[in-house]
Amino acid sequence: MTPTNQHTSHHGEGGHHSGHAHGGHHEHVDRGQAEILDLDAEVLGEHMASIIAWLPLESEPRQIVDLGCGTGAGTFALLERFPDAHVTAVDTSAGYLQLLREKACARGVERRVRTVQADLDTDDWPDLGTPDLVWASASMHHMADPDRALTSVRELLAPGGLFAVVELAGFPRFLPADAPESRPGLEERAHAAADGFHAEHVPHRGADWGPMLTAAGFTVEDERTITVRIEGARSETVGRYAYGGLRRIRGVAAPALGPEDLAALDELLDTDSPNSLLRRDDLTVRTERTVWAARRA
Ligand SMILES: C[S@@+](CC[C@H](N)C(=O)[O-])C[C@H]1O[C@@H](n2cnc3c(N)ncnc32)[C@H](O)[C@@H]1O
């Protein structure tokens, strides 16, 4: 197959889709969000690989579509696991797709990746081939109308093909419950303060995708939740991941946080402060991922 870097329809992007960007190759890409996606891929890489290995596939997939691929966490894990496969990586963000293509070149797999810029919230999806595996990690909850998107995936899949939906209930936690010393429990309160924003803007995050998949005409073959706990005491990557994540939570939580909590959060996020998050040696990554493996009947 000849690889192409195809750019297709690019419709309006609800403002809640953080990381979205407008325009062509020279658009602004949200570097902070792109970095978090990359750190996420690095920190959770082993877990993603085990999810892929667990998928109840009937044969090795040759044509894979990665929906809402971001900077390629799933794309590259899938390419590694299935050396004969090609991946069509789809996202609204031209900036993410550009980063993904750069990585594909750096890894020497550019001939096995096609990027497609498209808004999956629209009815008219571009031609994505006839995949035998569709992968969507942390992207389905962004859809304005998930039922419609699931139906489009069913129509897209080859008969007997598999749809893997990987979802999360929330962003990872990093701090011990008694931290920071001045405001114990701050991290949970910051997340609680951000909940209102998420309920309004990403209401499908944390949803049970099983019944929705069944209603869209899939047979849910299996479902699995993995609990992740990674000790980060001496990991610079975990420090940066925690820092990037909490900085984004601060962005949405600030209006609903009390002044003492906000000040303590700002101290954690002040890289010059002796109390900076980056100086702590007690960070752990604690999160969960649930995967639904659904077959096109
Ligand atoms: C949380 S990121 C996950 C990225 C990647 N799948 C991963 O696991 O790292 C969600 C991605 O979905 C994309 N996205 C959100 N809404 C979309 C839409 N309507 N159409 C296409 N992509 C969308 C975002 O641009 C973003 O890259």
> Which of 51, 50, 47 shows the shortest CA–CA distance to 162?
51
- The answer for 185, left when phi > 0, alpha when psi is -120 to 50, beta otherwise, is left
| Distance between CA atoms of residues 41 and 212, nearest Å | 27
Q: How far is the CA of 195 from the centre of ligand 1 (A)?
A: 20
pLDDT on residue 28 = 66
Q: Do the Cβ atoms of 250 and 285 come closer than 8 Å?
A: no
Handedness of CA 246, 247, 250, 251 (dihedral sign): negative
Ligand 1 and 37: CB distance under 6 A: yes
81 pLDDT band, cuts 50/70/90, is very high
The pair phi, psi for residue 142, each rounded to 5°, is: -80, -15
| Distance between CA atoms of residues 296 and 158, nearest Å | 8
| Distance between CA atoms of residues 276 and 261, nearest Å | 15
Ligand 1 and 142: CB distance under 6 A: yes
Report the pLDDT averaged over residues 199-212: 94
Handedness of CA 80, 230, 172, 170 (dihedral sign): positive
Pocket test for ligand 1, best of 16, 39, 44, 92 (most atoms within 8 A of CB): 92
Q: How far is the CA of 178 from the centre of ligand 1 (A)?
A: 34
| Whether the predicted pLDDT of 13 surpasses 80 | no
Q: How far apart are the first and last CA of the chain?
A: 28
231-261 pLDDT tens trace:
877 789 999 999 999 999 999 999 999 999 9
Q: How far is the CA of 279 from the centre of ligand 1 (A)?
A: 31
Ligand 1 and 91: CB distance under 6 A: yes
Residues 6+ apart with CB under 8 A from 102: none
- Can you state the angle between helices 73-81 and 31-43, rounded to 10 degrees? 30
**CB atoms near residue 76 (< 10 Å):** 23
Q: How far is CA 111 from CA 25, 75, 84, 187, in A?
A: 20, 13, 11, 43
| Distance between CA atoms of residues 251 and 223, nearest Å | 33
Radius of gyration of the chain (CA): 19
9 pLDDT band, cuts 50/70/90, is very low
Q: What residue type is assigned to position 127 of the chain?
A: D
pLDDT on residue 24 = 41
Ligand 1 and 167: CB distance under 6 A: no
- The answer for 257, left when phi > 0, alpha when psi is -120 to 50, beta otherwise, is beta
Q: How far is the CA of 238 from the centre of ligand 1 (A)?
A: 22
> Which of 129, 59, 53, 58 shows the shortest CA–CA distance to 90?
129
Pocket test for ligand 1, best of 10, 37, 139 (most atoms within 8 A of CB): 139
Domain 5-296 has CATH 3.10.180.10: no
90-101 pLDDT tens trace:
999 999 999 999
Q: What residue type is assigned to position 19 of the chain?
A: G
- As a whole number, the mean pLDDT across the chain is 90
Q: What six digits make up the tokens of 2?
A: 């000849």
Report the pLDDT averaged over residues 128-155: 97
Q: What residue type is assigned to position 81 of the chain?
A: R
Q: Do the Cβ atoms of 267 and 175 come closer than 8 Å?
A: no
Pocket test for ligand 1, best of 9, 142, 290 (most atoms within 8 A of CB): 142
